């Protein structure tokens, strides 16, 4: 099903993860801290960052290649995949797709190399699933733009060199608009959110925009309205619909091995029919998810994808993956909750993955709308 090059890409990402992520991930997760900059440079050297974009130092790989990379990253940890998703599919994609030539020249080569880190600010404390009601404002002052407001739950926020911030610029300026904000701009700050119990090996921050003054050129000229951020999200969701399966694969593989080694009632756990039923069900769901991901990937590489097709993928693959992690957890008994095994970490991480990039409920409603013609979320 995969070409030799696709396999080579998958293997290369696996090897990097085995070398630089796996030996450290438990410690990063427990401490809630990770050397994101070093990782970004390592990933940049490989070509992982913005890998599916063309030009400006990006690797120009296919959607399937990108998906396979996401699986391997997330088989190590969803937080590591998030770092790559936000950098490539949200921040870089927004600039690549909607930015000026100057934006692209200034940021994309450094972001592709992992020398500059980007974040993407859409969600606010009071507006998550409904970003159209956002309160962050962009006000014109002469030719300048002045941004005021707060963004919440922003991946890579505190470590970013550049933030793509979405703000309401008023009806006369096209409504919701994107801005390329160097994080060194006065008035910009990004305090880190602590006390997360999920996605701990990922930096999540608040963005505070206190009269952030930007030149006229800071605006992303090529898009107005909510379709700007939504088309970026569609890119990232596509990566997630593959990636989540990596967490599931890692959990299932751990459970499979464990049940063949652990003995109770005089035989391996794997010898009990209930265990096998669980393993068979999980393995089937995993393979179906991978087939769906590959099908969507091939479509994206040829005809392109409609948003509701991406919703089907994210909805199915993330809910199934979290279920696989939970079932795998039961198979390890008490060891299932131990940090010695990756399962609980994956399961906890997927709680975030289930919510960000459109909650499972919102994706169900997008699919529902496509099926019935009736919009049920407003």
Partner 1 sequence: MNIVVCVKYVPDAQSERAFREQDKTVDRDAVDGLLSEVDEYAVEEALKIVEASEGEVTVLTVGPAQAADAIKKALQMGADKGVHVCDDAIHGSDAAATSLVLAEAIKKATDGSPELVLMGMTSTDGVMGVVPAMVAERLGMPQVTFASELTIEGGSLRARRDGDAASDTIEASLPALVSVTDQINEPRYPSFKGIMAAKKKPVEQWTLADLGVDAGAVGIDAAWTKVIDVAKRPPRAQGTIVKDEGDGGTKLAEFLAAGKFL
Ligand X SMILES: Cc1cc2nc3c(=O)[nH]c(=O)nc-3n(C[C@H](O)[C@H](O)[C@H](O)COP(=O)(O)OP(=O)(O)OC[C@H]3O[C@@H](n4cnc5c(N)ncnc54)[C@H](O)[C@@H]3O)c2cc1C
- Is residue 46 close enough to count as binding partner 1 by CB under 8 A? yes
Q: Which stretch binds partner 1 (CB under 8 A): 53-61, 175-183, 297-305, 306-314?
A: 53-61
- Is residue 60 close enough to count as binding partner 1 by CB under 8 A? yes
Rounded-to-integer distance, Cα 192 and Cα 370, Å: 38
Is 357 catalytic? The answer is: yes
Of 222, 281, 361, 375, the residue at the interface with ligand X (CB under 6 A) is 361
Of 36, 39, 53, 61, the residue at the interface with partner 1 (CB under 8 A) is 61
Q: Are residues 10 and 72 in contact, defined by beta-carbon separation less than 8 angstroms?
A: yes
Question: 85 vs 91, 253, 343, CA distance in Å?
Answer: 9, 24, 22
Rounded-to-integer distance, Cα 14 and Cα 143, Å: 48
In the complex with partner 1, the residue whose CB is nearer, 20 or 226, is 20
- Is residue 292 close enough to count as binding ligand X by CB under 6 A? no
Supply the minimum distance, in Å, between the C-beta of residue 16 and partner 1: 6
In the complex with ligand X, the residue whose CB is nearer, 22 or 351, is 351
- Is residue 123 close enough to count as binding ligand X by CB under 6 A? yes
Q: HSE on the CB side for 68, CA within 13 Å? A: 22
267 - beta bridge partners?
Answer: 264
Rounded-to-integer distance, Cα 165 and Cα 119, Å: 8
- Is residue 153 close enough to count as binding ligand X by CB under 6 A? yes
Of 245-264, which residues contact partner 1 (CB under 8 A)?
A: none
Which one of 74, 106, 285, 357 is the catalytic residue? 357
Count Cβ atoms below 10 Å from residue 339 Cβ, excluding itself. 12
Listed residue (49, 50, 47) closest to 36, CA to CA = 49
- Is residue 2 close enough to count as binding partner 1 by CB under 8 A? no
Of 15, 227, 281, 295, the residue at the interface with partner 1 (CB under 8 A) is 15
C-beta contacts of 14-19 below 8 A and 24+ residues apart? 14/72, 14/75, 16/42, 16/43, 16/46, 17/72, 17/73, 17/75, 17/76, 17/80
User: How many residues appear in the chain?
Assistant: 378
Listed residue (164, 169, 168) closest to 188, CA to CA = 164
- Is residue 5 close enough to count as binding partner 1 by CB under 8 A? yes
Helix axes 273-302, 63-76, angle to 10 degrees: 150
Of 9, 91, 343, 366, the residue at the interface with partner 1 (CB under 8 A) is 9
Of 194-223, which residues contact ligand X (CB under 6 A)?
A: 199, 204
Of 27, 33, 38, 45, the residue at the interface with partner 1 (CB under 8 A) is 45
- Is residue 132 close enough to count as binding ligand X by CB under 6 A? no
Q: Which stretch binds partner 1 (CB under 8 A): 41-49, 203-211, 251-259, 319-327?
A: 41-49
Helix axes 227-261, 343-355, angle to 10 degrees: 160
Of 105, 129, 330, 375, the residue at the interface with ligand X (CB under 6 A) is 129
In the complex with partner 1, the residue whose CB is nearer, 51 or 248, is 51
| Count of residues that bind ligand X according to CB under 6 A | 21
Q: Show which residues are catalytic.
A: 357
């Amino acid at each position: 099903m995969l070409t030799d090059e696709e396999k080579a890409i998958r293997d290369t990402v696996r090897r990097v993860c085995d070398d630089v992520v796996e030996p450290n991930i438990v410690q990063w997760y427990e401490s809630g801290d990770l050397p994101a900059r070093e990782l970004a440079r390592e990933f940049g050297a490989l070509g992982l960052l913005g890998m599916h974009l063309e030009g400006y130092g990006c690797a120009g790989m296919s959607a399937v290649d990108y998906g396979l990379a996401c699986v391997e990253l997330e088989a190590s940890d969803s937080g590591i995949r998030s770092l790559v998703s936000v950098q490539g599919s949200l921040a870089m994609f927004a600039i690549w797709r909607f930015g000026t030539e100057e934006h692209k020249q200034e940021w994309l080569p450094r972001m592709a190399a992992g020398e500059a880190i980007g974040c993407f600010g859409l969600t606010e404390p009071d507006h998550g699933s409904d970003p159209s009601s956002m309160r962050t404002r962009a006000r014109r002052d002469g030719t300048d733009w002045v941004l005021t407001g707060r963004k919440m739950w922003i991946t890579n926020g505190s470590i970013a060199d550049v933030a793509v911030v979405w703000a309401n610029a008023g009806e006369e300026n096209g409504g919701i608009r994107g801005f390329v904000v160097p994080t060194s701009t006065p008035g910009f700050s990004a305090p880190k959110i602590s006390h997360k119990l999920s996605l701990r090996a990922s930096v999540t921050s608040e963005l505070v925009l206190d009269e952030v003054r930007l030149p006229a050129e800071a605006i992303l000229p090529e898009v107005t309205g909510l379709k700007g951020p939504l088309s970026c999200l569609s890119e990232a969701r596509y990566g997630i619909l593959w990636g989540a399966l990596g967490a599931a694969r890692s959990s299932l593989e751990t459970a499979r091995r464990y049940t063949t080694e652990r003995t109770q009632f005089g035989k391996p756990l794997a010898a009990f029919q209930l265990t096998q039923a669980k393993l068979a069900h999980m393995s089937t769901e995993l393979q179906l998810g991978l087939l769906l991901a590959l099908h969507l990937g091939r479509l994206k590489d040829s005809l392109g994808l409609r948003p509701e097709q991406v919703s089907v993928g994210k909805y199915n693959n993330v809910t199934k993956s979290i279920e696989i992690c939970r079932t795998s957890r039961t198979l390890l008994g008490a060891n299932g909750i131990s940090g010695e095994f990756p399962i609980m970490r994956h399961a906890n991480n997927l709680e975030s993955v289930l919510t960000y990039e459109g909650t499972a409920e919102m994706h169900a409603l997008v699919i529902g709308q496509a099926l019935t013609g009736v919009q049920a979320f407003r």
